[in-house]
Amino acid sequence: MKRKQRRTKAAKKNRPHEKRVSLAEAFEMAIQLHQKDRLDEAENIYRQILALEPDHPDAHHFLGVLSHQKGRSDEAVAMIQRSLTLNPDHPDAHNNLGNVLKEMGRLEEAAQAYQSCLTLAPDNVNALSNLGAVLREMGEYEEALDSIQRAIEIAPNHAQAYHNLGNVLKKLERFDEAIAAYRKSITLLHPKDSAAFIASVYKSLSRTLFIEQKHDEAVAVLKQWLSFDPDSPTATHMLAACSGNNIPDRASDAYVEETFDTFAGSFDEVLKRLDYRAPELVYTAISAQITDDNKKLNILDAGCGTGLCGPLLKKHAANLVGVDLSKGMIDKAGGHDVYDTLVVAELTKYLLENPGTFDLIASADTLCYFGDLGEVIQAAASTLTDRGLFVFTLEILLDAQSDESYRLNPHGRYSHSQDYVYGVFQPTDMQIISLTKDKLRNEGGEPVKGMVITAIKKQE
């Protein structure tokens, strides 16, 4: 008995020291992980905190912000509102609630949240600037100007406020003033600003200069962007698009990831405002070929984005897989709860790694980020079963020169000539059985004309 006690004491003596962490320390750890975009780890700690202290207002608040980042926006709203029930006098929580509601397209509620923040903190510059951005989207341009200009009076070096000011002035077609506001925003940028914000300012200025036919100035701005951020894949891609030099065969992985990780939160609402129709057009083309509603297929949503095609494809799916290069988009797609599997991967590589797997590949507004389609079309053929279908959209190159197969446009997407599309299928074991033309979306107030292509794999 004594020997047993001695062994127990020795075991305790040799056990590694276990440091107890307070709730405050755990919360600080979660915040640091959150800031580093290690969302799964941060979420786990927030939830552990709430399991121990269910009424922890800050854990509810930041878990709500994180939930929105992961595509669970309804849950995010509920959690931030719970935080505000526990601590109604928290201006930043009201502001973040407004940010989530804004990206969900619930503009009036977003405006109310920003107003609640300003009731508590009338000089909250972020809320003033954000309110101006929402009022712009609501078409209340003069009110938007008032709110943003007040933000600038309080904080003359607020880069975001000047960017929002430029956006309002652009809507009012006061282009010279918008350009001046964007230029002022650029002078206030700091290397510690997020890549997403830096990109948005430079893109806004360069695109406005293009609208005003000031192409050389737009190219100069993009070069300035690269001097500020030499490693920016977006700046590199946009410079190629606007200058016509060093055009890549397709958008780089880094460009696609940066663009769509940034865009994930507001993607669905922005596309609604652009009358985005590609998912419905793809589904209509699929329905023309699959008339048996009871037929269930292995389906790949290629470039699934936030999952807009998912609910449409589910009807025909025995197994529905979504693949996208952007983790932010995949996180949002998971919120639809319709995919059996979601994969973060480059599309061509994924197709080549899954030969003979899918009966149907659907792809809405993805191959417009490829110039040369040869490799991805061959890869699609390899992953289809016999008589499998590939249905996808492209933007059409309406004014193609005689030898022009595709063009990289200033907005960063490629358009393709119809002859090129037919030609690229010739060396494959697929053939086009339908090609229709339709509007895919609006851009800058103008319709973007596209093609909806249906191809079938020939039976061996």
Provide the residue-wise pLDDT of the chain in tens; the chain has 460 residues: 344 444 444 444 444 455 678 999 999 999 999 998 899 999 999 999 999 999 999 999 999 999 988 878 889 999 999 999 999 999 999 999 999 999 888 999 999 999 999 999 999 999 999 999 999 999 999 999 999 999 999 999 999 999 999 999 999 999 999 999 999 999 999 888 888 888 889 999 998 998 898 999 999 999 999 998 898 999 999 999 999 899 999 999 999 998 888 766 666 666 666 678 999 999 999 999 998 877 899 999 999 998 999 999 999 999 999 999 999 899 888 877 899 999 999 999 999 999 999 999 999 999 999 999 999 999 999 999 999 999 999 999 988 777 889 999 988 999 999 999 999 999 999 999 999 999 998 887 788 999 999 999 987 6
> Which of 145, 67, 139, 128 lies closest to 103, judged by CA?
67
Helix, coil or strand: residue 115: helix
Packed helices 23-35 and 57-69: angle between N→C axes, nearest 10 degrees:
20
Is residue 306 within 8 A of residue 346, CB to CB? The reply is: no
SS3 432: strand
Considering only CA atoms, which of 140, 139, 189 is closest in space to residue 162?
189
The tokens describing 381, both together, are 């053929």
Same fold for the pair 23-264 and 266-457: no
Query: Could you give the 3-state DSSP secondary structure of residue 307?
Result: coil
CATH, range 266-457 = 3.40.50.150
What's domain 23-264's architecture?
Alpha Horseshoe (1.25)
Q: Which amino acid is at 185?
A: S
The answer for 172, left when phi > 0, alpha when psi is -120 to 50, beta otherwise, is alpha
What sign does the CA torsion over 100, 235, 363, 384 have? negative
Enumerate the H helices of 138-289 as residue ranges.
Answer: 141-154, 159-171, 175-187, 195-211, 215-228, 233-243, 253-263, 267-273, 278-289
Cα–Cα distance measured from residue 68 to residue 104, given in angstroms and rounded to the nearest whole number: 10
Residue 5 is predicted with a pLDDT of 43
Q: How many CA atoms lie within 13 A of 191 on its CB side?
A: 6
Q: How many CB atoms lie within 10 A of CB 331?
A: 22
Measured at the CA of 252, the angle between CA 103 and CA 226, to 5 degrees, comes to: 80
d(C-alpha 423, C-alpha 405), whole Å: 10
| Separation of alpha carbons 20 and 34, rounded Å | 21
User: What is the end-to-end Cα distance of the chain in Å, rounded?
Assistant: 78
Contact in structure between 449 and 396 (CB atoms under 8 Å): yes
- DSSP assignment of 124-169 equals -HHHHHHHHHHHHHTT-HHHHHHHHHHHHHH-TT-HHHHHHHHHHH
Give the model's pLDDT for residue 192: 83
pLDDT at 264: 64
Q: How far is C-alpha 185 from the chain's CA centre?
A: 23
Paired tokens of 253: 């992985």
Q: How far apart are CA 435 and CA 366, in angstroms?
A: 17
Rounded (10°) CA dihedral 321, 323, 327, 330: -40
Tokens of 9: 């004491």
Predicted pLDDT at 293: 77
The helix/strand/coil state of 373 is coil
Largest CA distance in the chain: 96
- Look at residue 11 in the predicted model and tell me its pLDDT: 43
Q: Which pLDDT score is estimated for 273? A: 67
Q: Where are the domains of the chain?
A: 23-264, 266-457
CB atoms within 10 A of CB 217: 16
